[in-house]
Amino acid sequence: MAITRRAAVAALAALPLARANAQAPFPSKPLTLVVPFPAGGPADIFGRHLAQGMAPLLGQSVIVENKSGAAGVTGVDFVAKAGSDAHVMGLMSASAGAIMQHLMPKMPYDPNKDIAPVTLVVRVQEILVVNSKLGITDMKGFLEAAKAKPGKITSGSAGTGGITHLAIELLKREAGIDILHVPYRGAAPATNDLIAGTVDTCLLDVPVLLPHIRSGAVKAIAVSSDTRSLLLPDVPTMRELGLPKVNSDNWYALMSPGQSSAASRQRIHEAAVAALRTKEVIDAYAAVGGVAVGNTPSELAAYLRTEGEKWAEVIKGANVKLE
């Protein structure tokens, strides 16, 4: 009986501590923001500015870790495997969030269960350019040239199945043209060959092409977005040119592990959106061609579904296969 009484007293004494632990404020330690691409690139820039903006609002440091591979899937998988630990969060690219699930035979995580959408962080506009020596100065001339020489105009991308490839396939479908896709291992080699004249055209992120547009090495034809680029306000959109369905914005979203608590995700959402609305983050993103967003988890979830459906249709129609 004495042992039972002592056990009961010990259990009662532990209740306040258990309640305190259960109600411990979040976050209770430094957070990790996984960026699924190498350091120094656009995704890394977006992630680090977001981390800096969120840290003071959360009252904890936010450490950026770069975990690249498989078009962003490796980094997202790391976050998915964090289980219920909301101290781990990550950026998710358009490729990992809406494309690769329709291309990879088996995803390492379930996009519908293992990750939880928090907010759309940034949109990165893409732009169609041609080598300046080609003599094409506008979209009308580009389409005329493509229709006059079916399959002869070449277009480089950052890799088969990525958004810069699927954007080309979307343009081909909507404009009724046949141009030859040439895949590269990244945007940099594709851009180098574009400038050299090895390929005729590319449809890549504005930040990648901006220096070469300004130098005159390549000619900007159209922005594949619903709005013009603030960095290139004189370049028309595909919508303005009669191709409203050619929208291939690249984007990055913030996500948490799928088993993390709703309360912790709400805390992260509040800090992320507040950071994305600061002048510092807005200006930093704009400087490299990004448009800060910040929406609700439900809005992001709906956007992920729409994007997934759009790119799945393009992939099926063009019979795209991973190399």
N-terminal to C-terminal alpha carbon distance within the chain: 71
Quick one: pLDDT at residue 16?
45
pLDDT in tens, 222-275: 999 989 998 999 999 999 999 999 999 999 999 999 999 999 999 999 999 999
Greatest Cα pair distance in the chain: 96
Q: Which CATH class is domain 126-223?
A: alpha beta
In angstroms, the CA 294 to CA 269 distance is: 9
Quick one: pLDDT at residue 6?
52
CATH topology identical between 30-123+250-318 and 126-223:
yes
Average pLDDT of the residues in 177-196: 92
For residue 121, the tally of other CB atoms under 10 A from its CB is 29
pTM for the model: 0.86
pLDDT of 54 > 90? The answer is yes
Average pLDDT of the residues in 64-89: 93
Q: Structural domain boundaries of the chain? A: 30-123+250-318, 126-223
CB 68 within 8 A of CB 95: no
pLDDT band at 10 (very low <50, low <70, confident <90, very high): very low
In angstroms, the CA 298 to CA 119 distance is: 9
In angstroms, the CA 115 to CA 278 distance is: 27
Residue percentage of the chain with pLDDT more than 70: 92
pLDDT band at 23 (very low <50, low <70, confident <90, very high): low
pLDDT in tens, 102-147: 999 889 998 889 999 999 999 999 999 999 988 999 999 999 999 9
Q: Tell me which residue of 42, 58, 139 sits closest to 93, measured CA to CA.
A: 42
CB 35 within 8 A of CB 67: yes
199's CB contacts (< 8 A; 6+ apart) are: 131, 154, 155, 156, 182, 190, 193
Mean pLDDT of the chain: 90
CB 264 within 8 A of CB 86: yes
Of 84-88, 313-317, 318-322, which range is least confident?
A: 318-322
Quick one: pLDDT at residue 57?
96
Quick one: pLDDT at residue 317?
93
Task: Indicate the CATH number of 30-123+250-318 among 3.40.50.2300, 3.30.1780.10, 3.40.190.150, 3.20.20.80.
Answer: 3.40.190.150
Angle 130-135-136 (CA atoms, 0-180°, nearest 5)? 55
Which DSSP letter does residue 226 get?
A: S
Quick one: pLDDT at residue 8?
39
Burial of 113 (0-12, 13-18, 19+ CB in 10 A): exposed
237's CB contacts (< 8 A; 6+ apart) are: 222, 223, 224, 225, 226, 227, 228
pLDDT of 29 > 90? The answer is yes
pLDDT band at 156 (very low <50, low <70, confident <90, very high): very high
Q: Tell me which residue of 43, 36, 103 sits closest to 71, measured CA to CA.
A: 36
Quick one: pLDDT at residue 13?
43
CB 249 within 8 A of CB 126: yes
